[in-house]
């Protein structure tokens, strides 16, 4: 087992502005109005802090594995027509609620061959139609052995921002962090 690829702090950088903002508001309310009035803001601050946690993961050193790209609950395993690579594929959908870690990690070692972004709706991400109707960002990753994997970040009901830090031509290591979805979402592989 290895977790050698982890260049990020334990709190995701995508959350730093939100965390700083809510902690500043909570502190200001506490200084101006006291602990009782500030307590709801401190609770919100703790919720936001836990939402943006980004703990390291142990990545298995096994050839040919496909890892889950996110923490959460598997809500679907279906044979589908891949709308990005126009082929039949097995799709595994992972739904992340607001208490799951929302960092997205590469399911395989490989090169990003293409990327597609689609603005869309913000339906409940646990619904199957969210894969085609919600805001989404898809990556085509080709493994070193030539296998094709599509990894799709999908915004949810509350999620309003998909963040993807990688682009076509870059190489991803299995388990490498490549993005984040804020406040509830889904990832399909």
Q: What is the 3-state secondary structure (H, E, C) of 55-124?
A: CCCCECCCCCCCCCCCCCEEEEEEEEEECCCCEEEEEEEEEECCCCCCEEECCCCEEEEEEEEECCECCC
Check residues 187 and 184 and name the one with the higher pLDDT: 187
Q: Which of 180, 147, 151 is nearest to 64 (CA)?
A: 147
SS3 content of the chain, % helix, strand, coil (to 5): 20, 35, 40
User: Is the pLDDT reported for residue 4 higher than 50?
Assistant: no
User: Is the pLDDT reported for residue 1 higher than 50?
Assistant: no
Inter-residue contact 23 to 52 (CB < 8 Å) = no
Do both 46 and 90 map to the same domain?
no
129: confidence class by pLDDT, cuts 50, 70, 90? confident
Inter-residue contact 50 to 62 (CB < 8 Å) = no
Whether 181 is covered by a domain: the verdict is yes
User: Is the pLDDT reported for residue 2 higher than 70?
Assistant: no
User: Does residue 185 carry a catalytic annotation?
Assistant: yes
Q: How far apart are the first and last CA of the chain?
A: 22
Q: Which of 139, 163, 165, 166 is nearest to 150 (CA)?
A: 139
Whether 157 is covered by a domain: the verdict is yes
Q: What is the pLDDT of residue 127?
A: 72
Whether 169 is covered by a domain: the verdict is yes
Whether 61 is covered by a domain: the verdict is no
Do both 79 and 172 map to the same domain?
yes
* Winning range, highest mean pLDDT, from 71-75, 133-137, 169-173: 169-173
Check residues 1 and 121 and name the one with the higher pLDDT: 121
Number of domains in the chain: 2
Do both 114 and 40 map to the same domain?
no
Do both 37 and 82 map to the same domain?
no
Domain ranges, residue 42:
13-51
- The tens digit of pLDDT for each residue in 92-126 reads 999 888 888 888 999 999 999 999 999 887 777 77
Whether 43 is covered by a domain: the verdict is yes
Q: What is the mean pLDDT of the chain?
A: 87
Neighbouring C-beta atoms of residue 161, cutoff 10 Å: 12
Do both 81 and 47 map to the same domain?
no
User: Is the pLDDT reported for residue 8 higher than 70?
Assistant: no
Catalytic residue among 93, 106, 126, 185: 185
Q: What is the pLDDT of residue 134?
A: 83
Rounded percentage of the chain residues whose pLDDT exceeds 70: 93
76: confidence class by pLDDT, cuts 50, 70, 90? confident
Inter-residue contact 15 to 51 (CB < 8 Å) = yes
């Amino acid at each position: 087992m290895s977790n050698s690829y982890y260049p990020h702090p334990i709190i995701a950088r995508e959350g730093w502005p939100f965390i700083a903002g809510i902690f500043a508001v909570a502190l200001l309310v506490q200084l101006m109005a006291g602990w009782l009035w500030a307590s709801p803001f401190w609770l919100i601050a703790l919720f936001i802090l836990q939402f943006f946690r980004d703990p390291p993961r142990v990545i298995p050193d096994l050839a040919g594995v496909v890892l889950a790209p996110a923490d959460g609950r598997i809500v679907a395993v279906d044979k589908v027509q891949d709308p990005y690579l126009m082929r039949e594929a097995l799709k595994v959908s992972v739904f992340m609620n607001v208490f799951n870690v929302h960092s997205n990690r590469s399911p395989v070692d490989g090169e990003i061959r293409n990327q597609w972004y689609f603005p869309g709706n913000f339906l409940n991400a646990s619904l199957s139609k969210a894969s085609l109707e919600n805001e989404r960002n898809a990556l085509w990753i080709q493994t070193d052995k030539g296998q094709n994997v599509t990894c799709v970040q999908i915004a949810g009901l509350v999620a309003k921002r998909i963040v993807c830090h990688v682009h076509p031509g870059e190489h991803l290591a299995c388990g490498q962090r490549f993005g984040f979805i804020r406040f509830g979402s889904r990832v399909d592989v």
